[in-house]
C-alpha cells in the first residue's frame, strides 16, 4: 500500500508514535531504577532500626556521686558513682577486719543489670523510693522505652511493606493502587519514628531532675547517650524512601501525557500501528480505486 493510504499512518505520524513509545519506555526504565534504589534504602533503614532495638546501646546516662544508671530501651544497668566506690572500698576494708559481707551486700545494691520492668520494680520499692522519690520518673522512662520500641517495630514493618509494594509496582504490575499503598507505607514509617522519638524525649526529660537532692551525693546529671543520637539520625533518614520516590519519579508518567494504568498488561500507552486510536488513521475498509 502507498504511504498515507487509508488505514495507515503517514510517515510523520508514524515517527510521532515511535517517539511516544520510546519516551514511555525510557520513563518506565527510569522509574524501575528509582524503585530499586528506594527498595534498597528502605531495606537498609529497616536493618538499622532492628539493630537499634537489639543492640544494648545506652540511650540515657544519669548519675550522682553515689549511684549511676545506664538506660537502654530494654535494660537498666546500675553502677556505683565516685562516692559509691569510696564507700565500697571502706566497707571492703571493714569486711577484711571483721570477716563480714557488707561489701557484697553493697555490690548487690549498686551493681546490677536489670530488665526494664525489674529495674522499675527495684527502684520503686518503699525503702529506695522513700529516700530518692524517683519512682514516678522511672515509670515514665519504662513507658517511654516500651512505646518507642513498638513504634520502631511499626516503622520497620512499614518500610519493608512499602519496599515490597514499590518493587512489585515497578517490576510487575504498576497500578494506581500499588503506588498509593507504597506511598502510604513510606509516609507512615517516618511518622512512627518521629512520634516515638518525640514521646521518648518528653517522658524521659525529667529523669534526674525530679528526685530528692540529698546532702553528700552531689548533683544529679543526665544526658542522652549514643543510642539516642543514632536513633535521632535514623529518624531523619527514614524520610529518604518517600523523598526518593517523590523527587525522582513522582508523576513521571503523567508528565508524558499518559498514566501508568496503560502498563498493567504490558501494553504501550501509544496507539498500535493502524489502530483506531492513531491520529489520522482510518480503519474503515479500503475503497476500490477507480
In this structure, whether the domain defined by 11-263 belongs to CATH 1.20.140.150 is answered with: yes
Return mean pLDDT, the chain.
Answer: 74
Q: What span, in angstroms and rounded, lies between the C-alpha atoms of 272 and 252?
A: 22
| pLDDT (average), residues 48-72 | 89
pLDDT number for residue 194: 97
- Cα 251 to Cα 28, 83, 170, 180, 218, distances in angstroms: 11, 64, 14, 12, 61
DSSP line for 27-88:
HHHHHHHHHHHHHHHHHHHHHHHHHHHHS----EEEE-SSEEEEE-SSEEEEEE-HHHHHHH
Query: What is the grid cell recorded at 98?
Result: 571483721
pLDDT number for residue 80: 72
Residue 115 sits at the vertex; the CA angle it makes with 111 and 116, to the nearest 5 degrees, is: 105
Of 41-50, 53-62, 74-83, 243-252, the least confident: 243-252
Of 70-74, 75-79, 91-95, 140-144, the least confident: 91-95
- Residue 246: pLDDT band (50, 70, 90) is confident
- Cα 144 to Cα 149, 220, 236, distances in angstroms: 9, 21, 19
| Greater pLDDT, 35 or 52 | 52
**Residue 87 CB neighbour total at 10 angstroms:** 17
Sheet of strand 75-80: strand arrangement: 112-115, 75-80, 67-71, 60-63, 221-224
**Residue 253 CB neighbour total at 10 angstroms:** 21
pLDDT tens-digit readout, 158-208: 999 999 998 888 888 777 888 889 999 999 999 999 999 999 999 998 887
Q: What span, in angstroms and rounded, lies between the C-alpha atoms of 225 and 228?
A: 6
H/E element, 112: strand 112-115
Match 524503585 to its residue by C-alpha cell: 35
- Return phi, psi of residue 51, to 5°: -65, -40
Residue-range domain boundaries for the chain:
11-263
Amino acid at each position: 500500500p502507498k504511504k498515507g493510504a487509508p488505514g495507515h499512518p503517514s510517515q510523520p505520524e508514524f515517527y510521532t508514535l515511535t517517539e511516544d513509545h520510546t519516551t514511555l519506555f525510557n520513563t518506565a526504565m527510569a522509574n524501575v531504577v528509582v524503585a530499586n534504589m528506594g527498595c534498597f534504602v528502605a531495606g537498609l533503614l529497616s536493618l538499622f532500626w532492628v539493630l537499634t532495638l537489639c543492640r544494648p546501646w545506652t540511650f540515657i546516662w544519669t548519675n550522682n556521686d553515689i549511684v549511676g544508671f545506664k538506660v537502654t530501651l530494654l535494660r537498666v544497668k546500675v553502677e556505683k558513682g565516685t562516692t559509691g566506690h569510696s564507700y565500697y572500698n571502706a566497707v571492703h576494708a571493714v569486711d577484711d577486719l571483721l570477716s563480714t559481707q557488707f561489701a557484697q551486700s553493697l555490690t548487690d545494691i549498686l551493681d546490677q543489670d536489670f530488665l526494664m520492668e525489674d529495674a522499675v520494680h527495684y527502684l520503686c520499692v518503699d525503702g529506695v523510693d522513700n529516700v530518692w522519690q524517683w519512682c514516678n520518673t522511672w515509670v515514665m522512662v519504662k513507658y517511654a522505652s516500651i512505646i518507642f520500641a513498638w513504634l520502631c517495630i511499626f516503622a520497620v514493618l512499614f518500610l519493608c511493606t512499602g519496599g515490597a509494594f514499590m518493587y512489585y509496582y515497578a517490576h510487575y504490575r504498576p497500578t494506581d493502587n500499588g503506588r498509593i499503598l507504597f506511598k502510604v507505607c513510606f509516609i507512615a514509617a517516618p511518622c512512627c519514628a518521629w512520634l516515638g522519638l518525640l514521646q521518648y524525649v518528653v517522658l524521659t526529660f525529667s529523669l534526674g531532675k525530679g528526685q530528692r537532692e540529698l546532702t553528700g551525693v552531689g548533683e544529679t546529671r543526665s544526658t542522652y547517650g549514643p543510642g539516642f543520637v543514632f536513633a535521632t539520625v535514623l529518624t531523619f533518614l527514614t524520610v529518604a524512601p518517600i523523598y526518593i520516590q517523590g523527587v525522582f519519579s513522582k508523576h513521571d508518567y503523567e508528565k508524558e501525557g499518559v498514566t501508568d494504568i496503560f502498563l498493567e498488561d504490558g501494553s504501550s500507552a501509544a496507539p498500535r500501528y493502524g489502530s483506531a486510536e492513531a491520529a489520522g488513521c482510518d480503519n474503515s475498509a479500503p475503497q476500490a480505486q477507480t
